[in-house]
């Protein structure tokens, strides 16, 4: 799109958003806060992981990240000027409970009180995630250990009691699929375990932790709605062959269904034919756990980035966030999508598959699906700051990100209002990932997702063109 077309599209899109639809931006604690050694914060599995050579592609740590810990007023001001309704952030568990147990650390509580005060003053609502991957390192075994679910439930109870009257809405766990697959099965994220299918207990324990957290937040009488955030990637086989089809359904179960079915239907999906032995860890879980995991939710958070094309045979290509021996040993792999342009991460830009993800949710879960919120969507690109030739103002011309966001928000609105399967979905909002350029996990600082550029040497913030574009969408409602 040309700059004029983008402006026009922003106005049009804003005018088509349903009444009461929430526009927001999202971040997570570990990726932006920095100050990892301040206020008595404990170590997280990600601090331990990033200190191991070779784990993060640029060798960086999140010790300073985007320095948000020291820049809350400036960052909230940016959100206020952007005109969005809501800010999704995460509470850093190790900042609040350095050892993953015991009473809440006052310095941590004070930090989030200051953030919530600023948001209130700016008229920006809050959506707070209790777990966005920064498991306290003291919880030995992490999510592989069932006790971590209990610890998380206790943490949720204290957080609900402390912040229950002021957080706008609650997310228990962010993307248990990514933590399980990248962190416990493939070893490319913290804690760096390569257990392949033996990683599945980590999935079950995160889901149990989610259910216990829902119960705890309800027991604490929090005022806001409660949900989970799952990342969904529609899966297609690379060819019409039987082998590709079989591995595609295996990947759909692994990436999507294992995490959505128990939460929404109270049972794990049936393992695809021939792969049953791989799922034995989930076949005989205690039915009482499934009752906890399927506690009724007030909303379902959907993160969408890209679809997955699956082919039989090993051959995982290295990605910008690394590769591992475990990945290369799988009997299937992700194929490229030559038909789509790609983001900085090499992910296909395929907004129509956001419609597919919504259709799948409607078809698979129908009546039991609570209202849906798109809790993350966005793209990394190699952005650079340039000076405006007229007045020397720093600018970041990220037209590709504008086109990505425009096409995806448009696809979502069309899917839920277009008369197809997704039209039964009550879509309540859309959050852009991310407000700020940040520490992108195993990709370090090599992938910029922000609406606001961050200079990682002096932490200067520069709103990108996409920031100004989103403000226009917000204003046009």
Nearest distance from C-beta of residue 14 to ligand BGC, angstroms? 25
Nearest distance from C-beta of residue 229 to ligand BGC, angstroms? 7
Q: Which of 145, 150, 158, 178 binds ligand BGC (CB under 6 A)?
A: 178
Interface mask toward ligand BGC for 14-33; x: CB under 6 A: --------------x--x--
Nearer to ligand BGC, 97 or 380 (CB): 380
Q: Which of 440, 448, 454, 467 binds ligand BGC (CB under 6 A)?
A: 440
312-276-203-216 Cα dihedral, nearest 10 degrees: 140
Binding segment for ligand BGC among 40-48, 170-178, 335-343, 423-431 (CB under 6 A)? 170-178
Check binding of 175 to ligand BGC (CB under 6 A).
yes
Nearer to ligand BGC, 148 or 434 (CB): 434
3 state SS of 307: coil
Assess whether 376 carries a catalytic annotation: yes
**206-221 b/e (C-beta count within 10 Å ≥ 16 → b):** bbbbbbbbbbbbbebe
Nearer to ligand BGC, 36 or 421 (CB): 36
- To the nearest 10 degrees (0 to 180), the angle between helices 147-163 and 106-122 is 50
Residue whose C-alpha is closest to residue 23's, from 86, 90, 89: 86
In sequence order, what are the residues at sequence separation of 6 or more whose Cβ sits closer than 8 angstroms to the Cβ of residue 77? 122
What Cα–Cα distance (Å) separates residue 317 from each residue in 243, 348, 382, 388? Answer: 20, 15, 21, 39
- The one catalytic residue in 33, 175, 295, 376 is 376
Binding segment for ligand BGC among 15-23, 172-180, 217-225, 386-394 (CB under 6 A)? 172-180
Q: Which of 86, 169, 172, 174 binds ligand BGC (CB under 6 A)?
A: 174
100 secondary structure, DSSP code: S
Nearest distance from C-beta of residue 240 to ligand BGC, angstroms? 30
Show contacts with ligand BGC in window 217-236 (CB under 6 A): 231
What residues form DSSP beta bridges with 204? Answer: none
Residue whose C-alpha is closest to residue 175's, from 303, 293, 264: 303
Nearer to ligand BGC, 211 or 320 (CB): 320
Nearer to ligand BGC, 294 or 303 (CB): 303
Check binding of 334 to ligand BGC (CB under 6 A).
no
Nearer to ligand BGC, 31 or 308 (CB): 31
Nearer to ligand BGC, 206 or 303 (CB): 303
Q: Are 415 and 354 in contact (CB under 8 A)?
A: yes
State the CB neighbour count (10 A cutoff) for residue 64: 18
Check binding of 158 to ligand BGC (CB under 6 A).
no
Nearest distance from C-beta of residue 30 to ligand BGC, angstroms? 8
Please count the residues of this chain forming the interface with ligand BGC, following the rule CB under 6 A: 11
Binding segment for ligand BGC among 63-71, 174-182, 332-340, 455-463 (CB under 6 A)? 174-182
What Cα–Cα distance (Å) separates residue 334 from each residue in 170, 210, 238, 342, 386? Answer: 33, 29, 9, 14, 36
Q: What does the alpha-carbon distance between residue 228 and residue 264 come to, in Å, rounded to a whole number? A: 10
Q: Are 229 and 175 in contact (CB under 8 A)?
A: yes
Nearest distance from C-beta of residue 449 to ligand BGC, angstroms? 6
Burial of 401 (0-12, 13-18, 19+ CB in 10 A): buried
Strand ranges (E), 321-451: 332-334, 372-376, 386-387, 394-395, 427-433
Nearer to ligand BGC, 31 or 421 (CB): 31
Show contacts with ligand BGC in window 45-104 (CB under 6 A): none
Nearest distance from C-beta of residue 31 to ligand BGC, angstroms? 6
3 state SS of 166: coil
Show contacts with ligand BGC in window 266-285 (CB under 6 A): none
Q: Which helix (H) or strand (E) holds 264?
A: helix 258-265
Q: Are 343 and 380 in contact (CB under 8 A)?
A: yes
Structure tokens at 245: 């089809």
Structure tokens at 104: 């809440």
Nearer to ligand BGC, 9 or 184 (CB): 184
Structure tokens at 340: 């789509």
Check binding of 433 to ligand BGC (CB under 6 A).
yes
Q: What does the alpha-carbon distance between residue 216 and residue 118 come to, in Å, rounded to a whole number? A: 27
Binding segment for ligand BGC among 109-117, 173-181, 459-467, 469-477 (CB under 6 A)? 173-181
Nearest distance from C-beta of residue 138 to ligand BGC, angstroms? 22
Q: Which of 376, 383, 398, 437 binds ligand BGC (CB under 6 A)?
A: 376
Check binding of 206 to ligand BGC (CB under 6 A).
no
Residues of this chain that interact with ligand BGC (CB under 6 A) are 28, 31, 174-175, 178, 231, 303, 376, 433, 440, 449
Catalytic annotation, residues? 376
């Amino acid at each position: 799109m040309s700059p004029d077309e983008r402006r026009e599209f922003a106005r049009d899109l804003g005018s088509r958003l349903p009444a009461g639809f929430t526009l927001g931006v999202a971040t997570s604690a570990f990726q932006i806060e920095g100050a990892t050694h301040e206020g008595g914060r404990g170590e997280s599995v990600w601090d331990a992981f990033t200190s191991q050579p070779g784990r993060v592609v640029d060798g960086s740590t999140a010790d300073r990240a985007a320095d948000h810990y020291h820049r809350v007023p400036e960052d909230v001001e940016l959100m206020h000027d952007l005109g969005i309704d809501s800010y999704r952030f995460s509470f850093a568990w190790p900042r609040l409970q350095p050892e993953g147990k015991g009473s809440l650390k006052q310095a941590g509580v004070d930090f989030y009180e200051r953030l919530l005060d600023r948001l209130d003053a700016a008229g920006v609502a809050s959506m707070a995630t209790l777990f966005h991957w920064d498991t306290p390192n003291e919880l030995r075994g992490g999510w592989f250990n069932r006790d971590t679910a209990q610890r998380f439930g206790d943490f949720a109870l204290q957080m609900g009691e402390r912040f229950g009257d002021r957080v706008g809405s609650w997310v228990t766990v962010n993307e248990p699929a990514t933590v399980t697959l990248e962190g416990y099965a493939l070893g490319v994220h913290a804690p760096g375990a390569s257990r392949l299918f033996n990683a599945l207990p980590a999935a079950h324990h995160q889901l149990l932790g989610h259910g216990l957290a829902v119960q705890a937040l309800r027991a604490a009488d929090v005022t806001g709605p409660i949900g989970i955030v799952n990342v969904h990637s529609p899966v297609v086989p690379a060819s019409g062959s039987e082998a590709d089809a079989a591995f595609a359904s295996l990947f759909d179960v692994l990436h999507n269904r294992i995490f959505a079915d128990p939460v929404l239907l109270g049972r794990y999906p049936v393992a695809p034919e021939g792969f049953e032995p791989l799922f034995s860890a989930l076949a005989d879980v205690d039915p009482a756990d499934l009752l906890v995991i399927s506690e009724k939710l007030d909303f379902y958070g959907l993160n969408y980035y890209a679809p997955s094309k699956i082919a039989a045979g090993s051959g995982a290509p290295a990605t910008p966030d690394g590769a591992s021996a475990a990945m290369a040993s799988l009997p299937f792999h992700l194929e490229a999508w030559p038909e789509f342009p790609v983001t900085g991460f090499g992910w296909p830009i395929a907004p129509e598959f956001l419609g597919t993800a919504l259709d799948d949710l409607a078809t698979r879960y129908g009546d039991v699906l609570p209202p849906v919120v798109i809790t993350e969507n966005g793209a990394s690109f190699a952005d650079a700051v340039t000076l405006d030739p007229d007045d020397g103002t720093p600018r970041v011309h990220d037209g590709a990100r504008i086109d990505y966001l425009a096409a995806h928000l448009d696809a979502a609105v069309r899917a839920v209002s277009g008369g197809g399967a997704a039209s039964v979905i009550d879509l309540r909002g859309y959050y852009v990932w991310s407000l700020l350029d940040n520490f992108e996990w195993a990709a370090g600082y090599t992938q910029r997702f922000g609406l606001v550029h961050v200079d990682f040497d002096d932490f200067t913030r520069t709103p990108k063109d996409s920031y100004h574009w989103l403000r226009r969408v917000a204003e046009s409602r």
